[in-house]
Amino acid sequence: MTAKTLILLEHDRRQVKRPSLHAIDAARQLGGDFALLLLGEGLEEMAKSVATCGASAVLMADDAALAEPLADRYATVIADAFRKIEATTLLGTSSTFSKDVLPRAAALLDAPMLTDVLAIEEQNGAIAYRRPINAGSMLATVQLAGQRRVLSVRASAFEAPSADAPACPIESLPIDATSLPNGMQLVSREERISDRPDLIEARVVIGGGRPLKDKETFDRLVGGLADVLGAAIGATRAAVDTGLAPNDYQIGQTGKVIAPELYIALGISGAIQHLAGIKDSRVIVAINKDPDAPIFQMATYGLVGDLHQIVPQLIEALGRE
Amino acid sequence: MDFAWSDQQRELLDAVSRFAREQLDYEVIENDRQAIFNHEAWKKCGEFGIQGLLVPAEYGGLGQDPLTTVAVLERLGYACKDNGLLFSINAHMWTAVTPLVYNGTEAQKKKFLPGLCNGDLIGGNAMSEPNSGSDAFSLGTTATKQGDKYVLNGSKIFVTNGPVADVLVVFANVDKARGQDGITAFLVEKGMAGFDPSHKIEKMGVRTSPMAEVFFENCEVPAENLLGKEGGGAFLFTRSMTWERGCILASAVGAMQRLLEKCIRYANERKQGGQSIGKYQLVASKIVDMKLRVESARHMLYHYGWVAGHRKAVYLEAAMTKLHLADAWMKCAEDAIQIHGGYGYMTEYEVERELRDAIGAKLYSGTSEIQRNIIASLIGL
Amino acid sequence: MTQPVTKILVPFKSVPDPYEAAGPDGSGSGAKSVINPFDEIAIEEALRIRERGEASEIVGLTIGAPAVDEQIRAALAMGVDRAIRIDDARALDPYAVARILRAAVEKESPQFVIIGKQAVDDDSNQVGQMLAGLLGWPQATFVSKLEFLDNRTRARCARETDAGLEVIEINLPAVITSDLRLNEPRYVSLPALMKARKKPIEVLTCEQLGVKVDPLTTTIATARPAKRAAGTRVESVEELVIKLKQEAKVV
C-alpha cells in the first residue's frame, strides 16, 4: 500500500499512548491518506486498538530485535517503512521517544524536520507551520522546501481522533534483524508505577519548586494537594536539580510541556524556562511568598504567602466535601 | 568623545557580569546578621581575577586600566548583594595591593603579590588610631629601629580585614620629632609575635566585612618588611587613599542600579487605592531622582576611571567621586526604604541593609567633610 | 578495532543570551550572545573527560559570521584546545547544520562528538541525532551521566526520558547530546579569557570543507503568542477555593 503520511505511534509495551494519536489530526489537516506505524515486540493487540482511527493501514514492525527503542535500529526501520509506502511526510507527537528517533530518520530520508509544531496553516499558497522558539516566548511561522519532511507535533495542540472508522488492514513489515544496526544496547530503564495520572494527560497538575526544601516536604505538600485533587505532579528544574523530584517530573522548555485545566504552582518563581511549559494551562494558581515573583504576572489567581502554612490549609479546604 | 566600550572591554565585562550573577548571588541576610565573612566567595573572586585587576601580569595580575577596573567593580556590585565582601575586596586592593605595586621591592612583590591577586592572601592597612582618624598623620604608633628590625608599639582601629588578614600595611612613626615626615609603612604579617588582630569590631553596616582593633606590643618586623623608605609613609598613604577614594564606591553604582530596578518593580507591582503606587507622583518622583543619581554617579565614576588612566594627579576627581557617590548611595537607599513602606523596614526585603551599608560610605576613606575640604582647597578656595 | 578516545569534537552554537533575552515582554532583544547553555555543558564534559586522562584533544567548532569569534574565545577560555569557525552567516536549519558537521567530522576524525541537546533559541533538538544518522554512528541523547568502558571503545550513558532515567551502552565512535544535569560548566576566569586571545581560530568556508548545503526551512514570520488575560490576587485560602469553584469552575 501507499500513503502520503506515515505516523509513528508511541506505546509503553502494553498500550498505545493516547496523546501520540493526536498526530492523526495533524495528518488530516495536511490532507491525503495516512498510515500508522508501531515498532516493538508483540504488537498485535495494540495494532488492533488503533485500527479504527481512519488510517489506510496499521504497519507493525514486530521483532525481538525491536523490543527496545534503540534509535539506530528504529530510525532505520522507520525510514524503510517510509520509503516502502512512498510517503512524503513523517509525523509523530513530541516526546523524548520521538525526539530521539525522528531526527535520525529524517537524516536517513534526506529530509528537514520541524519540532513541536503547534498549528498548520496556509501562507502564500503553501503549507506553513507554527512552532515555538526562545522557550515559547515567540512563535515562528516556517515553510519547508523539498520532497519530504518530518514533523513532531505537540499533542495538546491537536485533537484526539475519533475511533469509529471501519477497521483498516494491519500489515506486518518484514524485519531482517541481522541487517539492523547493532551499536546500541539497553542496560536498564526506570519504570515507576503510579496511580497518579500521566503528567502530559492530567486535567490538574500541581507543580513544586525549590522552596519546598526537601523530598519529604515536597511529597507531603505537593503530593498531598495532588491526592486531594486527583492530580499529576510536576517540578521545576531547580527542584529536580536539588533532588526534590525525579527528572521526569520536570516541566519547562527542556522538560515536559503541559496544558491542563488547572496548574497550581507552589513556591515557583516563574523563570521563563518553566513558564514555557505551563503557559497553555487554562487556569494557573501561584502560591509564593515573594510578591515580585514573575509567575504572578501569568497567574489567574495569585496568593502571596508562606506555602508551608497555606498548602495544608488548601488541602484541608479542598478535601472538605 | 567615544562613550562605547571596546570589544575587549565588553567581553571582559560580560564575563564579569556572568561570573557575579552565577557565583556571587548568594543569601546575605543571615551572614549579615551574624557578621560572617564569605571566604569562599573571596577565593572565587581571586581565582576569577578580581583582586589582581590592576597588578602587572608578571606578578599574577591582569594589568588592566583604571576605567575597566571600576566598570568591573560596578558589575560586581550590581549582581552581588554582599556589599561587605566587596568592601573587603576594595580595602585589600587599594590599601595593600596598590602600595606594593608602587613601592614594593622586587622581593616583596614576588612574595606577596601573586597570593594577593589569586585569592590566597588577604591584605589591608592599619592607619587610623583611637585618637587620629581624620587627622591621620598625627598617629601615635611608633617604630623603633633595632639592628635589622623595627619594633612597633601602639594600636590601630577600624582595620578592615584585620581579623583575617595575612598581611597589613601598617603606618608607624620612626621619629616623632619629624612629625609627618617620620611616618613609615611596614608590612606586618599574620603570626608575627606582638601583633594582635583578634579584637573584632561590630559595625552597623557592611557587617560581613571583618574589622578589628589591632595592637602592637613590641612587635618585631624584619627590615625587609619596610615598605618604601623611612619617612615615605605619608606620601604612600596619600597615593593609596586617592585610589581608594576614586574606586571604593564603584560597586555602589552597581548596587544603586539594583536598588533602582527593585524600586521600579515594586512600584509597578504594589497596588494601593486601585492602582500601582508608581502612578502616584510622590512615589514616581523619588524613583526619577534615583535614576538621575545613578546616571550622574556612573558618569562621574567612569570619568574618574578614564582620568586616572591618563594623568598622574587625580586628587580632585577622586575626592569628588567619593563625595558624590557616597551621598547618592545613601539617598538611594533611604528612598528605597520609603518606597517600600513597611516592607522596606523588614530585614527580609533586603532594603534596610542597603541603607546600613551605605551610611559607612560617608565615613570611610575620608569622611564626606574631609572630601569637601579637599575639593575646596583644590578649586582655589 | 576502534581506537581509544583521543580527540573529541564539540560543536557549539552562538545564541542570544537567554538570561538577558527575557525582557519586559519576553520577545528577546538578542543584544548579547553567549555559547548555547547546552553546548557549554557539552564543552565542560569534554574538558572533564580530558582532565580524567581519557582524551587528549578537544576541538571546538561553530558556524557563523566573524561576530561569533567572541563565543569561540569563551570556549577557548574554558579550555578547548583549538577552535574552528565555519564562515557562514546564513540562517541555517538543523539539517543543513548536521550536513556541515558531517563534513567537519570527516575532516577531523574525532573518536567522539558531544553536542548540546538543543539550542535555546531554536529549541529544535535535532542536530545531534541527524549527525549520528548521517554518519551511521550510535547516538545517546539527553545524557545526564557518561562514562567510558572497555578501554574507551564503548560508553555507558544515562538518559533523561519522559519515563525517568534510562541507561544504554553504545559503541564508539558515537554522537552524544548533553542534557542539563550532565554537569555544571566552569565559569571562565579573566586570566583564561586573556590567554584565549592568543589561541588560534581556524576559519574555513563550506567550500574549503567540501560541503555545499542550503537550508530547507524558511521562517516567514515571528510573533509573540497571545498574552494571557491579567489575573487577580487573592488574600486567603478561602477566597482562592471559592474562586476556583465558582468563577473558574475547575475544582
Q: CA angle at residue A227 from A217 to C164, to 5 degrees?
A: 70
Would you call B80 helix, strand, or coil by DSSP? coil
Q: Cell for C29? A: 532583544
Cβ distance B49 to C191 less than 8 Å, yes or no, reads yes
Go through chain B and tell me how many residues it has: 381
Query: Under an 8 Å CB criterion, which residues of A touch B?
Result: 291-292, 296
Return the pLDDT at A85. 97
Q: What is the pLDDT along chain B (381 residues), one digit of tens a residue?
A: 888 999 889 889 989 999 999 999 899 999 999 999 999 999 999 999 999 999 999 999 999 999 999 999 999 999 999 999 999 999 999 999 999 999 999 999 999 999 999 999 999 999 999 999 888 999 999 999 999 999 999 999 999 999 999 999 999 999 999 999 999 999 999 999 999 999 999 999 999 999 999 999 999 999 999 999 999 999 999 999 999 999 999 999 999 999 999 999 899 888 889 899 999 999 999 999 999 999 999 999 999 999 999 998 999 999 999 999 999 999 999 999 999 999 999 998 999 999 999 999 999 999 999 999 999 999 999
Residue C241 DSSP label: H
Return the pLDDT at B7. 86
Which secondary structure element, helix H or strand E, spans residue B211, and what is its range? Answer: strand B211-222
Between C44 and C21, the more confident residue is C44
Residue B93 DSSP label: I
Return the pLDDT at C25. 43
Would you say C14 and C64 are in contact if contact means Cβ atoms under 8 Å apart? Answer: yes
Cβ distance B48 to C193 less than 8 Å, yes or no, reads no
Would you say B101 and B64 are in contact if contact means Cβ atoms under 8 Å apart? Answer: no
Cβ distance A283 to C118 less than 8 Å, yes or no, reads no
Q: Cell for C57? A: 584533544
Q: What would the pLDDT profile of A142-152 be if each residue is shown by its tens digit?
A: 999 999 999 99
Q: Cell for B130? A: 583611637
pLDDT at C31 over 90: no
In the chain, the amino acid numbered A18 is R
Q: Which residues contact C242 (CB under 8 A, 6 or more apart)?
A: none
Q: Rounded distance, CA A72 to CA C170, Å?
A: 10
Q: Rounded distance, CA A261 to CA B303, Å?
A: 57
- Any CB–CB contact under 8 A between A193 and chain C? no
Whether the CA torsion A238, A240, A245, A250 is positive or negative: it is positive
Q: Known catalytic residue: B22?
A: no
pLDDT at C132 over 90: yes
Q: Rounded distance, CA A286 to CA A305, Å?
A: 10
Cα dihedral value B110, B111, B114, B119, nearest 10 = -170
- Any CB–CB contact under 8 A between B23 and chain C? yes
Would you say B249 and B329 are in contact if contact means Cβ atoms under 8 Å apart? Answer: yes
Q: Rounded distance, CA B249 to CA B246, Å?
A: 7
Return the pLDDT at A321. 59
Q: What is the Cβ-side half-sphere exposure of residue A45, based on CA atoms within 13 angstroms?
A: 8
Sheet order of strands, C217-223 included:
A119-123, A126-133, A138-144, C217-223
pTM of the model: 0.86
Q: What would the pLDDT profile of B267-300 be if each residue is shown by its tens digit?
A: 988 888 989 999 999 999 999 999 999 999 999 9
List the single residue in C118, C167, C170 with the smallest CB-CB distance to A188. C167
- Any CB–CB contact under 8 A between C16 and chain B? no
Return the pLDDT at A192. 78
In the chain, the amino acid numbered A194 is S
Which site among C2, C129, C175, C181 would you substitute to test the A interface, given the most A Cβ atoms closer than 10 Å to its Cβ?
C129
Which secondary structure element, helix H or strand E, spans residue B6, and what is its range? Answer: none
ipTM exceeds 0.90: yes
Predicted confidence band at C17 (pLDDT cuts at 50, 70, 90)? confident
Would you say B124 and B160 are in contact if contact means Cβ atoms under 8 Å apart? Answer: yes
Percent of chain B with pLDDT over 90: 93
Chain position carrying cell 619629624: B178
Q: Rounded distance, CA C26 to CA C14, Å?
A: 19
Q: CA angle at residue B350 from B346 to B356, to 5 degrees?
A: 90
Q: Rounded distance, CA C199 to CA B320, Å?
A: 42
pLDDT at C22 over 60: no
Q: Rounded distance, CA B75 to CA B20, Å?
A: 8
Helix/strand/coil (H, E, C) string of chain A?
CCCCEEEECCECCCCECHHHHHHHHHHHHHCCCEEEEEEECCCHHHHHHCCCCCCCEEEEEECHHHCCCCHHHHHHHHHHHHHHCCCCEEEEECCHHHHHHHHHHHHHCCCCEEEEECEEEEECCEEEEEEEECCCCEEEEEEECCCCEEEEECHHHCCCCCCCCCCCCEEECCCCHHHCCCCEEEEEECCCCCCCCCCCCCCEEEEECHHHCCHHHHHHHHHHHHHHHCCEEEECHHHHHCCCCCHHHEECCCCECCCCCEEEEECCCCCHHHHCCCCCCCEEEEEECCCCCHHHHCCCEEEECCHHHHHHHHHHHHHCC
Taking residues C20-36, what's their average pLDDT? 62
Q: What is the pLDDT along chain A (321 residues), one digit of tens a residue?
A: 899 999 999 999 999 999 999 999 999 999 999 999 999 999 999 999 999 999 999 999 999 999 999 999 999 999 999 999 999 999 999 999 999 999 999 999 999 999 999 999 998 889 999 999 998 889 999 999 999 999 999 999 999 999 999 999 999 999 999 999 999 999 999 887 788 998 988 999 999 999 999 999 999 999 999 999 999 999 999 999 999 999 999 999 889 999 999 999 999 999 988 999 999 999 999 999 988 788 998 999 999 999 999 999 999 999 885
Q: Cell for A117? A: 509544531
Burial of B137 (0-12, 13-18, 19+ CB in 10 A): middle
Predicted confidence band at C1 (pLDDT cuts at 50, 70, 90)? very low
| A80 strand-pairing partners | none
The C-alpha of A290 sits at a distance from chain B's nearest C-alpha, in angstroms, of 9
Which site among B259, B269, B276 would you substitute to test the A interface, given the most A Cβ atoms closer than 10 Å to its Cβ?
B269
Q: What is the Cβ-side half-sphere exposure of residue A173, based on CA atoms within 13 angstroms?
A: 32
- Any CB–CB contact under 8 A between C30 and chain A? no
Residue B164 DSSP label: G
Would you say A173 and A84 are in contact if contact means Cβ atoms under 8 Å apart? Answer: yes
When the pLDDT of each residue in chain B is averaged and rounded to a whole number, the result is 96
List chain A residues with CB under 8 Å of C13: none
Return the pLDDT at C251. 87
Q: Rounded distance, CA A124 to CA A24, Å?
A: 25
Cβ distance B48 to C189 less than 8 Å, yes or no, reads yes
**Cβ–Cβ contacts within 10 Å for residue B309, how many?**
14
List the single residue in C19, C193, C197 with the smallest CB-CB distance to B15. C193
Would you call B40 helix, strand, or coil by DSSP? helix
Q: Which residues contact A57 (CB under 8 A, 6 or more apart)?
A: A1, A3, A35, A36, A168, A169, A170, A171
Q: Rounded distance, CA B72 to CA B16, Å?
A: 7
The C-alpha of C199 sits at a distance from chain A's nearest C-alpha, in angstroms, of 32
Task: Indicate which residue of B74, B129, B244, B350 is catalytic.
Answer: B244
DSSP secondary structure, B309-368, as one string: HH-S--HHHHHHHHHHHHHHHHHHHHHHHHHHTHHHHSGGGTSHHHHHHHHGGGTTTS-H
Q: Cell for C179? A: 542534557
Q: CA angle at residue A32 from A27 to A33, to 5 degrees?
A: 80
List chain C residues with CB under 8 Å of A70: 168
- Tell me the pairing of strands B211-222 and B149-160: antiparallel
Q: Rounded distance, CA A182 to CA A65, Å?
A: 10
Cβ distance C233 to A124 less than 8 Å, yes or no, reads no
Q: Rounded distance, CA A225 to CA A222, Å?
A: 5
Terminal Cα-to-Cα distance of chain B (whole angstroms): 31
Q: Which residues contact B174 (CB under 8 A, 6 or more apart)?
A: B142, B143, B144, B145, B150, B182, B184, B230, B231
Q: Which residues contact A41 (CB under 8 A, 6 or more apart)?
A: A62, A63, A64, A66, A67
Q: Before C110, cis peptide (omega within 30)?
A: no
Q: Rounded distance, CA B331 to CA B338, Å?
A: 11
Would you say A239 and A229 are in contact if contact means Cβ atoms under 8 Å apart? Answer: no
**Cβ–Cβ contacts within 10 Å for residue B372, how many?**
14
List the single residue in C32, C194, C197 with the smallest CB-CB distance to B62. C194
Would you say A249 and A266 are in contact if contact means Cβ atoms under 8 Å apart? Answer: no
The C-alpha of C233 sits at a distance from chain B's nearest C-alpha, in angstroms, of 10
Q: Cell for B126? A: 592599619
Cβ distance A291 to B265 less than 8 Å, yes or no, reads no
Cβ distance A296 to B269 less than 8 Å, yes or no, reads yes
Distances in Å between the Cα of C250 and the Cα atoms of A157, A296, A300, C243, C244 are: 20, 19, 12, 9, 6
C 64-103 residues with CB < 8 A to B = 70, 73-74
Return the pLDDT at C3. 52
Q: What is the number of helices (H) and of strands (E) in chain C?
A: 8, 13
